[in-house]
Amino acid sequence: MKIARFSRIGFILAAAGSAVGLGNIWKFPYITGEYGGGAFVLIYLFTVLVIGFSIMIAEMLIGYMGRRDSVTSFEILAPHHKQLWKYAGFQALAGLFIMIYYSVVIGWIFNYIVTSLSTLPSTVAQAEQTFNTMLHADFWTQFEYHTVAFIGITYVLTKGIKGGIEKMNMILMPALMLILLGMFAYALTLDTFSQAFHFMFFPDWSKIDSNAFVVAVGHAFFTLSLGMGAMMTYSASLEKNSNIVQAAFWVVFLDTTIAIVAGLMLFTFLYQYGAGPAKGPGLVFISLPAAFYEMGIIGNIFAVLFFIALAFAGLTSAVSLVEPMVQYFIDRFSWSRLKASIMMGLFFYLIGIFAILSNIEGASEYLTWGNKSFFDWVDYVTAAIMLPIAGLIMAVFIGFVIEKSKVESIMKPQLGFAFEAWYFSLRYITPIAMFVVMLSLMGVLS
């Protein structure tokens, strides 16, 4: 059976689509705001280059060398203890677990696209009330849009690499970048752009503590879609003799550029209309709609375009979160793509209903343990445990398990004199960083 392969540009857009998600346009701006802007941006850029880029190359290399799903790739490539190493490939489960709440959030975005067509909240207080009502009282709206997200994502997955994933990213990624660049061009005309630029690129080190470094590393890892099996699975469909380093560079470049552009644009709008940057997770769903209201009719247009862009980013990432497990069942159990896609879609869809209920008044008390709802527990377990462990495993696998000569034969021609620096980072810097991030997020080092 002929295996579908990505075209070069198709792979870069698909991998960038996997990386460019809600983490870029929603999470990056608000954590930048919480940690004072420029100093955090510098730390984030450093971690992306030193840790994120290193791990991305490693994950792509495993997929490129294995040419199969993540579980089989580890099993094939491991020189010893193959039955043990195959379990490392189950990092793909992290993406499927993330989808339990990710699909729900994409549903929120669909809802905001529709509501932005009519009436925007006139104040931050009203916007907060609107969001909280949806989150805690309106189960059916969340359920309906969660269902729409499930249907759309599953449909693309059933179409496969060329007809579904590549085709979707060839359309949505350019559209996403066009929308953001158009809004960014408008932001350039506003007086507060210089204030936003100063906030993001002139460091205020007084806002930085040790936790900022941990957050930067964790976010760099999350936003690049690492440790979820996505990059590994996509790389298995690369043509032979593909340049992994070049592909990884373009993915990191596009991902980081979109995050910076989104941050500058959002902070410009927030400063222009009287809101500050440190608004936490509610920045996009609470502060921004109120800022769009102040713009008049153009605010409605921008609100619709912004949430469409956010939906595009969410959908391209969502498909990549599920595809690794779809490919696993195709490779290991000879399932049809249709069956694998529907079964994996139903997994995150049905459990996602409990994620919605865990925030609904009257049901949340039955789906809350400790101080976290089911929704929050899924987020916590994936971010604090599954992703850091996956990063640690990949670094150890390439750095210590695979023979250096095999790694060098592929990567030395591509990295040149930088090969030894990359290999050193992978063996010593990245594992320590992943271990510290995991312990910090779990509260062990707090």
If you average pLDDT over residues 15-36, what whole number do you get? Answer: 78
pLDDT at 3 exceeding the cut of 60? no
Among the ranges given (145-149, 173-177, 395-399), the one the predictor scored with the smallest mean pLDDT: 173-177
Backbone torsions φ then ψ of 369, nearest 5 degrees:
-130, 130
If you average pLDDT over residues 351-356, what whole number do you get? Answer: 98
pLDDT at 111 exceeding the cut of 50? yes
Buried b (16+ CB within 10 A) or exposed e, 269-306: bbbbbebebbbeeebbbbbbbbbbbebeeebbebbbbb
pLDDT at 279 exceeding the cut of 60? no
Question: Which domains are present in the chain?
Answer: 8-441 (1.20.1740.10)
If you average pLDDT over residues 316-343, what whole number do you get? Answer: 92
Q: How many CB atoms lie within 10 A of CB 114?
A: 12
In this structure, are residues 158 and 331 in contact, taking their beta carbons and an 8 Å threshold?
Answer: no
Torsion of CA 416, 420, 422, 425, to 10 degrees: -170
Among the ranges given (26-40, 78-92, 300-314), the one the predictor scored with the smallest mean pLDDT: 26-40
Bridge partners for 368 per DSSP: 373
If you average pLDDT over residues 214-234, what whole number do you get? Answer: 83
Bridge partners for 369 per DSSP: 372
Torsion of CA 313, 51, 387, 227, to 10 degrees: 70
Whether pTM exceeds 0.75: yes
Segment 46-102, tens digit of pLDDT: 888 888 899 999 999 999 999 888 889 999 999 988 988 989 888 889 999 999 999
In this structure, are residues 356 and 145 in contact, taking their beta carbons and an 8 Å threshold?
Answer: no
